[in-house]
Amino acid sequence: MVCVETPIPSRAQPVEDGRVIEIKSAFCAEVEVNEWQPDGQEQVNLMLQVEIGSRGREARDVFTLWVTTPEALMTLAGRGLLVERATLVLSPFSWKALWEAIDAILERCDKGDGWARISQRLERYFHYEFEDYVPPPPLDGPDPDREDEPDD
């Protein structure tokens, strides 16, 4: 199935509540976001990618999590590791419950203290595309745009 960028109908859309971050879009390779409905709760074991960014800016970063239910975990119980991290267990699953849970996470992480700190807090709940990223050293000496490098 093709990943389709889906706007999220939730409180995470721009509102005047003082928050700095918002969900920009979400996508899932297995199902169509906000449309798919499981035949049974044991079917809910989805990898969801959520693009989160600062309000009023186009920039966004990708955060990934697994969305599942207790029933799905029971069907997977004989297959080894069930939950590593970045897993949201809903009972019962609904798209409304999912967006409310993610919105609550954003609210806990959004202290208005800059993207670097906010993204660190988001990593507690999601896999972050830049998790453990270390920039490579400059090829031709110190980078003049970096303040933490001494000038010659």
3-state SS string over 85-121?
Answer: CCEEECCCCCHHHHHHHHHHHHHHHCCCCCHHHHHHH
**Confidence grade of residue 88 (pLDDT, cut at 50, 70, 90):** very high
**Residue-wise pLDDT tens digits, 115-150:** 889 999 999 999 998 877 777 887 776 655 555 544
Mean per-residue pLDDT of the chain: 83
Contacts by 108-112, CB closer than 8 A, 24 or more apart: 109/21, 110/19, 110/20, 110/21, 112/18, 112/19, 112/20
Domain ranges of the chain: 21-78+85-128
Q: What is the pLDDT of residue 14?
A: 43
62 with 50: CB under 8 angstroms? yes
Is the pTM higher than 0.85? The answer reads no
**Residue-wise pLDDT tens digits, 35-44:** 999 999 999 9
Structure tokens at 59: 């920039």
